[in-house]
Amino acid sequence: MTGNSNIDFGIEIFNYFILFFAISVMASYVVLAMISAYGLKKYLKQNRYVNYDSLLVLQDAPKVSLLAPAYNEGRTIEENVKSLLGIKYNNFEVIVINDGSKDNSIEVLVKAFDLVVSNAVYKAEIPTKNVRAIYKSTNPVYSNLVVIDKENGGKADALNTGINFATNPYVVCIDVDCIMDKDVLLKLAKPFLEYSDKRIIATGGVVRIANSCEIKSGKLVRVFAPENYLARIQVLEYLRAFILGRMAWSHMDGLLLISGAFGMFDREIVIAAGGYNPKTVGEDMELVVRMRRYMIETKQEYRIQYIPDPLCWTEAPESFQILRKQRSRWTRGTIETLWIHRKMLFNPKYKILGMLSFPYWFLYEFLAPLVEATGLLITFLFAYLGILKWSFFIWLLLFVYSFAVMFSFMALYAEESTFKRYQTYTDLFKLVGVAFIEPIYFHPFTVYAALRGNYEKLKGSHGWGEMTRKGFAKTS
């Protein structure tokens, strides 16, 4: 204490504010986790006896176009496309959109799949960059493959090109380098077949980390905890986000995000809503928000279905440099979506979206890192001035730390009670181990990356930044 009652009062207010904010974040996490647990239990019960193969006999299964944008993927594209063509489903086509790659992607594809230029007509219902050529295969084995070569315009523009070209009523947007579960389309399509008085406009599922997993011929064979610490921590992070977070939002019908790595959409609604926005780097979240907004504003009953099964496996960044770029981009994407749709914030017209989801994202996704950083700065200032109450500060840190560890353990328990993808004690020990270091090793870095994201946004940066991937070690 300084002895100056005004300053002391200010310090006390500051302490209480930080404490209250921390508690509110934690409380929201716990509430979401409880709702998720209920939703997960219900989902697993309802799907315990489901035989997805039965969908294969239905000639009228929803017709799906799988859209895979590719940029400089020449090294892995052949195997990735083969893996996509091998997905178990009846009515689907694969549309690979080469987004003006500077490498030999097109040459590789032409050679591997016997492609020739087709005279198919491209109609741009959503404006996109120019299409150079559309390729189809002369080999009947690849009759459901289309390759579109276009000028570079970014991922959103490439996906819009695919959406324009697709003739099927449903589009599945994926990252070409992700590993898909063989049943992915069967699981994504099921909700569209079940009776509902509401139109299902999108389904999405869980994305998991594939680093160090055993991959054979483009298929995931065995799951292991990543060897790299950074990737291993992201396993925990994804478990917390997907199992304990998104499931709850879905259960409350407040889901704002279907991961860009893969999601299935009603093409008609995507086009009516205007397609992906190429001006934002958070195009996946922005599209979902815009589609929902469109449905509410045109007074149509609708639903977004979330499938908690791990269906898509992606490579997580293993270096701080790449991770920083990814997280800064996510922050910019969040800011852009929140800004574009600011009208929804606390607007009862948008029901749970306006009154809960949007405020939550604003407070705990956008503002939280800023509050955290400000809190730290003021704490450093207090320490410098010699007015920091060290015992309070240390206990507050321990409080936050113990919550973070507890929440990670909760996520691990949820995984162990549900999907159990990590099968050995070694993997479990590895994940438990990183739960202890995550709050001090990883979390501060994500706060820093979020701040950089804010700074980049203020500076007017629009780029994605290079996302170099190591590539999966594939055994064929």
Interface residues toward another protein, by CB under 8 A: 1, 5, 8-9, 12, 15, 19, 45-46, 48-49, 51, 53-61, 190, 193-195, 389, 391-392, 395-396, 398-399, 402-403, 405-406, 409-410, 412-413, 416-417, 420, 425, 428, 432
Q: Which helix (H) or strand (E) element contains residue 97? A: strand 92-99
Q: In angstroms, rounded to a whole number, what is the distance separating the alpha carbons of residues 427 and 1? A: 48
DSSP 53: G
Structure tokens at 138: 């002369």
Q: In angstroms, rounded to a whole number, what is the distance separating the alpha carbons of residues 32 and 154? A: 34
Measured from the CB atom, the residue of 62 and 282 that comes closer to another protein is: 62
Measured from the CB atom, the residue of 221 and 467 that comes closer to another protein is: 221
**Residue 197: CB minimum distance to another protein, A:** 10
**Which runs of E-coded beta strand occur in 183-301?**
199-209, 214-216, 219-222, 262-266
Q: In angstroms, rounded to a whole number, what is the distance separating the alpha carbons of residues 460 and 456? A: 6
CA angle 353, 340, 272 (to 5 degrees): 75
**Residue 88: CB minimum distance to another protein, A:** 14
Q: In angstroms, rounded to a whole number, what is the distance separating the alpha carbons of residues 217 and 140? A: 21
**Residue 425: CB minimum distance to another protein, A:** 7
CB neighbours (10 Å) of residue 289? 25
Q: Which helix (H) or strand (E) element contains residue 68? A: strand 64-70
Q: In angstroms, rounded to a whole number, what is the distance separating the alpha carbons of residues 309 and 208? A: 10
Measured from the CB atom, the residue of 297 and 416 that comes closer to another protein is: 416
**Residue 297: CB minimum distance to another protein, A:** 24
Q: In angstroms, rounded to a whole number, what is the distance separating the alpha carbons of residues 229 and 169? A: 42
Measured from the CB atom, the residue of 68 and 264 that comes closer to another protein is: 264
**Residue 91: CB minimum distance to another protein, A:** 11
Task: Count Cβ atoms within 10 A of the Cβ of residue 181 and give its class: 0-12 exposed, 13-18 middle, 19 or more buried.
Answer: buried
Measured from the CB atom, the residue of 321 and 402 that comes closer to another protein is: 402
Measured from the CB atom, the residue of 4 and 321 that comes closer to another protein is: 4
**Residue 42: CB minimum distance to another protein, A:** 11
Measured from the CB atom, the residue of 364 and 399 that comes closer to another protein is: 399
Which among 214, 420, 230 has a CA at the least distance from the CA of 324?
A: 230
Measured from the CB atom, the residue of 132 and 198 that comes closer to another protein is: 198
**Residues ≥6 apart with Cβ < 8 Å to 473:** 215
Measured from the CB atom, the residue of 391 and 476 that comes closer to another protein is: 391
**Residue 225: CB minimum distance to another protein, A:** 13
**Residue 350: CB minimum distance to another protein, A:** 29
Q: In angstroms, rounded to a whole number, what is the distance separating the alpha carbons of residues 167 and 63? A: 9
Q: In angstroms, rounded to a whole number, what is the distance separating the alpha carbons of residues 319 and 10? A: 41
Supply φ then ψ for residue 94, to 5 degrees: -110, 125
Measured from the CB atom, the residue of 348 and 386 that comes closer to another protein is: 386
Measured from the CB atom, the residue of 294 and 399 that comes closer to another protein is: 399
**Residue 45: CB minimum distance to another protein, A:** 6
Cα Rg of the chain (Å, integer): 23
**Residue 190: CB minimum distance to another protein, A:** 6
**Residue 210: CB minimum distance to another protein, A:** 22
For CA atoms 415, 229, 443, 255, give the dihedral sign.
negative
**Which runs of E-coded beta strand occur in 100-178?**
115-118, 131-137, 145-150, 170-174
Helix, strand, or coil here: 474? strand
